[in-house]
Amino acid sequence: MNHQPEDCVVHVVDDDAALRRALRFLLDSVGWNVRLYASAEEFLDALAPPETPSCLLLDIRMPAMSGLELQQVLSERGIALPILFLTGHADVSMVVQAMKSGATDFIEKPFRDQVLLDAVAAAVRRSAETLADTGRREGVRRRLQTLSPREGEVARLVALGEPNKVIAAALSISEKTVHIHRQHVMEKMGISSAAELARLMLQADPSALD
Amino acid sequence: MAAKARVPDRTLGRLLLVSLLAAFSVATGAANANGVAVGVFAFQGERAAISDWSPVIEHLNRELPGHGFQLRNYDADGLREAIAAQKVDLVITNPGYYVTLETQFGLSRIATLQSPHAARSGQALGSVVLARAERAELVNVRDLAGRSIAAVAPEAFGGYLIAAREMLREGIDPESAVRETHFLGLPMTRIVDAVKNREVDAGIVRACLPEQMAREGLIRMEEFRVLSPRRVDGFDCALSSPLYPDWPIAVTRHFDPGLAKSVARVLLSMPEGQDRVSWSVPLDYQPVLDLYRDLRVGPYAYLRDITPEGLARRFWPWLLGLLAILAAWIVHTVRVEHLVHQRTRELNDSLAAREGAERRVRDNQERMEHLSRLSILGELSGRLAHEINQPLTSIDTYANSLLRRDAAGTLTPEALREACGEIASEAERASGVVRRIRHFARKRAAVREMVDVFRLVEDAQRMVAGMLVSCPEIVIAREAGLECRVLCDGLQIQQVLLNLIKNAIDAARGLSDDRQGIRVRLTRADNRLVVQVVDRGAGLDAAERERLFEPFFTTKPDGLGLGLPICRSIIEAHGGRLWAEANEDGVGMCFSFQLPCHESSA
C-alpha cells in the first residue's frame, strides 16, 4: 500500500505562527498535505478519526493546553495518530514522559530539515500501516458477521482444531450438518484451512478463541 | 446708757433662773427636801448596811443638826440611778464603784474609811485567795490556770477584781486561763463555804473576811491555805494582793461645798474605836484606777473594746465577713496579677516569636532575593533560549526549504519572497531577544553607591554556605591593610561573586576532598581592587577558556551559558574587567575581576 504524499495529512500544532508557517513551507516543498493549528484546542475542535495516513507535529510547550495534555486526550479518545513532538532545549523530562505515553518520536528545535522530513515520513508510514491493519481487521470482522449463529459456533470449534465428530457431539447435530456448515464458513471467509480461519478470527478479535 | 439700763434686767433674769433651778431641785430631789440623803452601796444587804453605817449618820446628825442626814441603801445600779437623778447628796461606796462614779458623775471624796485593822498606810482593802489546806499544788495565783474558782461578782472589788489583777500580773488571764469562775454573789461567806466543801479549787474573798469568819467560829483558818500570801506592814489579815484604799465617802457635784466641808470635818472628828467606824483624810484612789485600767473594766471598759481582742469579740461576724472579702479580694488580685503576668508573658512570647518569625522571613526573603537573582539568570536564560530557538528554527527551516525547492526546481518567486520575508522578520525577532538580554544585564547599572567589597565577599560566603547542604570551605584572603571601597551596584557585584563562587564549587563537584576548597583573594593593583575566586576543580582546556564568555557556551550538563557573559557585562558596566585563567600549577581555575577604587583610606 503506497500513499502519495498529497493524500497524507500532516497536522502542525504550534503556538508560534512564524514557526507554523515555516513548517508548512518546508512540508509543502515535499508535497505533504499540511494543516496548521495555533493551539491544541483548535486541533481538537477540527479532529476526526483519520481516514488517510497522517501524523501530528506537536509543540510540547504551549500556553494553554500543552502537547502532553493533547496526547493524553487523543489516547483517551482512542485515536491512533502518530505524534512527533517538537521540543526545546530544556524539555528533557517532558520528552521522556511523552515517549513513555507512546509518542512516535521527538524533534529538538532547532532541527535539521531532513531529520524532520524523515521523521514525518516514518510517522506517516506507520499511520498508513495502522490504517491498513485496521482495514483488514474490519474486513474480517465484516465477513465474520455474515456467518449465521450456528456457522459461527461451528467456525469457532473448527478454528480450535476440533474434528467434525467432536463438533457434532458438542452441538448435538449430525456430522453431516457440521460438514455443511464448515464448507459455508470456508466459502464466506474465502479460505480453505482451519489454520487460516483461526488466524483471521484472532486478527478480528484476539480473544475470539479463548 | 442703754447698757446701764440693762444690768438690772440681767440680774433679774439670773435670779429668776436660780430660783427656777432651786424649785426644780426641790421638786425632783425629794431627799433634799427632807434633808441630806446619804446613799450607801449595800453590798451585804440592807440590814447590814444600816447596822454598818448608822453610827456615821447618827454622828453627822448629832454634830450637824438641822440637816437631816438620812441613810439610803442601794444596790450598784440603784446607786448609780440615784446619783444620776440627784436623789442622793453623799455617797458611801466601795473603792471600785467610787472610781467609776467619780469619773462618771464627778463625785469628790471627802474622807476614806479608817479600818480598825488597816495597814500603816491607811489602806485596808485587799483580796485573799483561799484553797483547801491540803491542796499543796496551789501555791501561787498563777496556779489557778485551768482550775475552777469562786468569786463574788465580775465587778466585785475585793471579792474578785483585786485578785484578778494579781492573776494578770502573774501572767494568766483571769477571764480565759481559769477553767471556770463561779460568781456566787453575797454574802461573801458563800465563797469560803464553796472552797471548804470542795465545790471549787479556790475562792476569792475580801481580805480579813476569813479571820472574821474564824472569829465567829464559822471556819478554822488551818483548814485553808492562802495563795501568793504576802505581808503588809501593820496589816494582820491573810492577804494575796496589795492593799487598796478603803471605802470613801464622797459628795455629789450639786452638794453645797460649804456643807461638804462641814461634813468632812465632822467625819474626821469621829472617834476611833474597836468596832467603830472612823474616817481619815481621803486617800489616793489612783491604784484603784490602775487596777481598772489593767483589767479594762469599770471606767476603762472601753479599752476592752478597742483592743484587737475586744474588737474581734464584738465584731467577729463582720470581721469574718471582712476577712472573707479581703481574702477573696487578695485571691482575686493575686489571680488577676498572675493572669496579667501570664498574659503579658504570653503576649511577649508571642510577640518575640512573631518578631523572630518575621526576622527569619526577612532573612529568608533577602536570601531568596539573592538566590532568585542567581536562578533568574538560569530561568531567564532558559526562556531566552526558547525565545531565540523559535526564530532560529524558523529561519533554518525557511532557508533549507528554499535550497530544497531550488534543487527540485520547484522554487517559485512567490515562495522565495515569502521565505525571505519570514527569514528577515525572524532574524529581527531574534535580535530583539538579544537586546532584551543586554537590557536586563544593564538594567540596574544606574545604582551606584560606596560599597565595601570585602563585606560583599563575606556576605556571599555566608549566603553560599547557607544555601548549600555541604558547602566546601571558602577562605577569604585579604591583602594586609587593604581598604578599598568601590562605587558600584552592590547587588550586582554580589551577583557576580555568587556566580563565580557557585561555578568554582561546581567545578570541583565530584572530585576528591583536597580539590574542594575555594579561596577568594582581595588585592590592590594601581588603585584597582582585584577580586580572585580560585578553585582547584576540573579546570578548562584552552578552547573552552576561549569560549567561556560567549553567551550560551556551557560546560555544565544543565548549564545555559549565560552566567559568565552577564557577569562580564556587569563588571564592564562598572568600568572593570572580568577574566579567567588556569592556575599556575595547572589545577583548577582562577576567575578574577577588578574594579576601580574610588576612595581609599590609609
**Which CATH number characterizes residue A77's domain?**
3.40.50.2300
Q: Is the peptide bond before A163 cis (omega within 30 degrees of 0)?
A: no
- CB pair distance less than 8 Å for A89 and B418: no
| Of B50, B32, B33, B31, residue with least CA distance to B41 | B50
The shortest CB-CB distance from A89 to any of B389, B400, B426 is to B389
Q: Where are the domains of chain B?
A: 24-123+245-306, 126-242, 309-442, 449-600
Residue B461: pLDDT over 60: yes
- CB pair distance less than 8 Å for A109 and B393: yes
Q: What is the mean pLDDT of residues A82-87?
A: 90
Q: Is residue A209 part of a domain?
A: no
Indicate the pairing of strand B148-151 with strand B180-183: parallel
Calculate Rg over the CA atoms of chain A. 24
Residue B531: pLDDT over 90: yes
Q: Which CATH number fits domain B126-242: 3.40.1260.10, 3.50.50.60, 3.90.600.10, 3.40.190.10?
A: 3.40.190.10
Residue B1: pLDDT over 50: no
Q: Which CATH number fits domain B309-442: 1.10.287.10, 1.10.8.50, 1.20.1080.10, 1.10.287.130?
A: 1.10.287.130
Domain identity same for A53 and A128: yes
Domain identity same for A52 and A127: yes
The shortest CB-CB distance from B390 to any of A16, A111, A113 is to A16
Q: What would the grid cell of residue B246 be?
A: 478603803
Maximum CA pair distance of chain B? 185
A87-136 residue pLDDT tens: 876 677 778 888 888 888 888 888 888 889 999 999 999 999 888 888 88
- CB pair distance less than 8 Å for A90 and B426: no
Predicted local distance difference test score (pLDDT) of residue A119: 92
Choice among A144-153, B81-90, B273-282, B456-465 with the minimum mean pLDDT: B273-282
- CB pair distance less than 8 Å for B422 and A61: no
Predicted local distance difference test score (pLDDT) of residue A123: 92
The DSSP string of B58-87 is HHHHHHSTTS--EEEEE-HHHHHHHHHTT-
Q: Model confidence at A10, in pLDDT bands (50, 70, 90)?
A: very high
Distance CA B291, CA B167 (A): 12
Cross-sheet strand order for the sheet of B599-600: B449-452, B484-488, B599-600
pLDDT more than 90, % of chain B: 8
Q: Which of residues 377-416 of B touch A (CB under 8 A)?
A: 382, 385-386, 389-398, 400-401, 404-405, 408, 410, 415
Q: In the listed set A104, A135, A166, which residue is the last one of a domain according to the structure? A: A135
Mapped onto helix, strand or coil, the DSSP state of residue B92 is: strand
Q: Is B355 exposed, middle or buried (0-12, 13-18, 19+ CB in 10 A)?
A: exposed
Q: Evaluate whether B162 touches B127 at the Cβ level (below 8 Å).
A: yes
Maximum CA pair distance of chain A? 74
Predicted local distance difference test score (pLDDT) of residue B366: 58
pLDDT more than 70, % of chain B: 80
DSSP character for B227? S
| Of B579, B577, B582, residue with least CA distance to B594 | B577
B298 versus B246: which is more confidently predicted? B246
Q: Evaluate whether A1 touches A135 at the Cβ level (below 8 Å).
A: no
Residue showing cell 483561799: B130
Mapped onto helix, strand or coil, the DSSP state of residue B599 is: strand
Q: Evaluate whether B512 touches B562 at the Cβ level (below 8 Å).
A: no
Predicted local distance difference test score (pLDDT) of residue A33: 92
Distance CA B164, CA B173 (A): 8
Under 8 Å CB-to-CB from B25, ≥6 apart: which residues? Answer: B32, B86, B254
| Of B509, B503, B480, B507, residue with least CA distance to B566 | B503
Q: What would the grid cell of residue B104 be?
A: 462618771
Residue B517: phi and psi, rounded to 5, are -60, 150
Q: Which helix (DSSP H) or strand (DSSP E) does residue B89 occupy?
A: none
A128-185 residue pLDDT tens: 988 888 888 888 888 888 888 888 889 888 888 889 899 999 889 999 999 999 999 9
The shortest CB-CB distance from B422 to any of A21, A28, A88 is to A21
End-to-end CA distance of chain A: 32
AA letter at B508:
A
| Of B247, B246, B166, B244, residue with least CA distance to B204 | B166
Q: What would the grid cell of residue A131 be?
A: 490504517
AA letter at B153:
A
Residue B230: pLDDT over 80: yes
Indicate the pairing of strand B589-596 with strand B528-534: antiparallel
Size of interface A-B (CB pairs under 8 A): 72
The total number of structural domains in chain A stands at 2
The shortest CB-CB distance from A110 to any of B392, B415, B425 is to B392
Tell whether the torsion through CA atoms of B326, B327, B330 and B336 is positive or negative.
Answer: negative
Predicted local distance difference test score (pLDDT) of residue B21: 45
Domain identity same for A112 and A159: no
- CB pair distance less than 8 Å for B385 and A22: no
Distance CA A157, CA A196 (A): 13
Residue B470: pLDDT over 90: no
Under 8 Å CB-to-CB from B252, ≥6 apart: which residues? Answer: B83, B86, B88, B89, B90, B91, B105, B106, B107
Residue B560: phi and psi, rounded to 5, are -120, -10
Nearest-CA distance B426 → chain A (Å)? 8
Domain identity same for A11 and A64: yes
Question: Beta strands of B133-235 (E only): which ranges?
Answer: 148-151, 180-183, 202-206, 224-226
Q: What is the mean pLDDT of residues A66-91?
A: 86
Residue B203: pLDDT over 90: yes
Choice among A73-87, B67-81, B199-213, B456-470 with the minimum mean pLDDT: B456-470
- Beta partners for residue B130, in sequence order: B203, B226
Q: Which residues in chain A have their CB less than 8 angstroms from residue B394's CB?
A: 16, 18-19, 21-22
Q: Where are the alpha helices (DSSP H) in B170-223?
A: 189-196, 209-215
CA distances from A144 to A151, A190, A202 (A): 10, 11, 11
User: Could you report the predicted ipTM of this complex, rounded to two decimals?
Assistant: 0.70
What is the SS3 string spanning B240-291?
A: CCCCECCCEEEECCCCCHHHHHHHHHHHHCCCCCCCCCEEECCCCCHHHHHH
The CATH number of whichever domain residue A191 belongs to comes to 1.10.10.10
- CB pair distance less than 8 Å for A113 and B393: no
Q: What is the mean pLDDT of residues B126-148?
A: 89
Distance CA A62, CA A65 (A): 6
Distance CA A32, CA A124 (A): 10
Nearest-CA distance B437 → chain A (Å)? 18
The shortest CB-CB distance from A111 to any of B386, B393, B426 is to B393
Measured CB to CB, residues of chain A less than 8 Å from chain B are 16, 18-19, 21-23, 25-26, 28-30, 61, 88-90, 109-113, 116
Q: Which of residues 411-470 of B touch A (CB under 8 A)?
A: 415, 418-419, 422, 425-426, 429
Domain identity same for A179 and A102: no
What residue in B sits closest to A115 (Cα-Cα)?
B397
Nearest-CA distance A85 → chain B (Å)? 14
The whole-chain average pLDDT of chain B stands at: 79
Distance CA A43, CA A45 (A): 5
Q: What would the grid cell of residue B317 be?
A: 461576724
Residue B259: pLDDT over 50: yes
- CB pair distance less than 8 Å for B394 and A18: yes
Residue B256: pLDDT over 80: yes
Domain identity same for A93 and A156: no
Predicted local distance difference test score (pLDDT) of residue B46: 54
Residue A34: pLDDT over 90: yes
Give the architecture-level CATH label for domain B24-123+245-306: 3-Layer(aba) Sandwich (3.40)
Predicted local distance difference test score (pLDDT) of residue A121: 92
Choice among A173-187, B140-154, B161-175, B546-560 with the minimum mean pLDDT: B546-560
Q: What is the mean pLDDT of residues B332-344?
A: 86
- CB pair distance less than 8 Å for A25 and B393: no
Q: What would the grid cell of residue B386 be?
A: 526558547
Nearest-CA distance A60 → chain B (Å)? 12
Mapped onto helix, strand or coil, the DSSP state of residue B42 is: coil
Cβ of B85: how many Cβ atoms within 10 Å? 12
Distance CA B160, CA A169 (A): 144
Touching check for B61 and chain A: CB below 8 Å? no
Q: Which residues in chain A have their CB less than 8 angstroms from residue B410's CB?
A: 29
Q: Which residues in chain A have their CB less than 8 angstroms from residue B426's CB?
A: 18, 22
Predicted local distance difference test score (pLDDT) of residue B564: 82
Predicted local distance difference test score (pLDDT) of residue B445: 46
Chain Cα centroid distance, residue B45: 63
Domain identity same for A105 and A69: yes
Q: In the listed set A102, A135, A168, which residue is the last one of a domain according to the structure? A: A135
Best residue in A12, A29, A106, A112 for a mutation probing chain B (most B CBs within 10 Å):
A29
Q: Which CATH number fits domain B449-600: 3.30.565.10, 3.90.1200.10, 3.30.2130.10, 3.40.50.1380?
A: 3.30.565.10
Q: Which residues in chain A have their CB less than 8 angstroms from residue B424's CB?
A: none
The DSSP string of B507-572 is HTTTS-GGG--EEEEEEEETTEEEEEEE--SS---HHHHHHTTSTT--SSTT--S-HHHHHHHHHH
Predicted local distance difference test score (pLDDT) of residue A82: 92
Distance CA B58, CA B102 (A): 26
Question: Beta strands of B342-433 (E only): which ranges?
Answer: none
Q: Model confidence at B602, in pLDDT bands (50, 70, 90)?
A: very low
B126-242 and B24-123+245-306 share a CATH fold: yes
CA angle B392/B393/B396 to nearest 5° reads 85
Best residue in B375, B390, B552 for a mutation probing chain A (most A CBs within 10 Å):
B390
Q: What is the mean pLDDT of residues B16-22?
A: 46
The DSSP string of chain A is ----GGGSEEEEE-S-HHHHHHHHHHHHHTT-EEEEESSHHHHHHT----SS-EEEEEES--SSS-HHHHHHHHHHTT----EEEEE-TT-HHHHHHHHHTT--EEEESS--HHHHHHHHHHHHHHHHHHHHHHHHHHHHHHHHHTS-HHHHHHHHHHHTT--HHHHHHHHTS-HHHHHHHHHHHHHHHT---HHHHHHHHHHH-TTTT-
Predicted local distance difference test score (pLDDT) of residue B26: 40
- CB pair distance less than 8 Å for B401 and A16: no
Helix axes B162-169, B286-295, angle to 10 degrees: 60
Chain Cα centroid distance, residue A208: 20
Q: Evaluate whether A167 touches A152 at the Cβ level (below 8 Å).
A: no
Predicted local distance difference test score (pLDDT) of residue B373: 55
Q: Which residues in chain B have their CB less than 8 angstroms from residue A22's CB?
A: 393-395, 397-398, 401, 422, 426
Predicted local distance difference test score (pLDDT) of residue A44: 92
Q: Model confidence at B25, in pLDDT bands (50, 70, 90)?
A: very low
Q: Evaluate whether B117 touches B235 at the Cβ level (below 8 Å).
A: yes
Domain identity same for A48 and A68: yes
Owning domain of residue A198: 146-204
Distance CA B303, CA B97 (A): 18
- CB pair distance less than 8 Å for A88 and B426: no
Q: What is the mean pLDDT of residues B515-529?
A: 87
- CB pair distance less than 8 Å for B390 and A18: yes
Indicate the pairing of strand B202-206 with strand B37-41: unpaired
Predicted local distance difference test score (pLDDT) of residue B332: 86
The shortest CB-CB distance from B396 to any of A16, A61, A110 is to A110
AA letter at B492:
Q
Q: In the listed set A81, A111, A135, which residue is the last one of a domain according to the structure? A: A135
Q: Is residue A113 part of a domain?
A: yes
Domain identity same for A9 and A76: yes
Domain identity same for A68 and A167: no
Length of chain A measured in residues: 210
Domain identity same for A121 and A198: no
Domain identity same for A152 and A61: no
Predicted local distance difference test score (pLDDT) of residue A13: 95
Nearest-CA distance A190 → chain B (Å)? 47
A79 versus B376: which is more confidently predicted? A79
Q: What is the mean pLDDT of residues B336-359?
A: 84
B5 versus A33: which is more confidently predicted? A33
Q: What is the mean pLDDT of residues B467-491?
A: 80
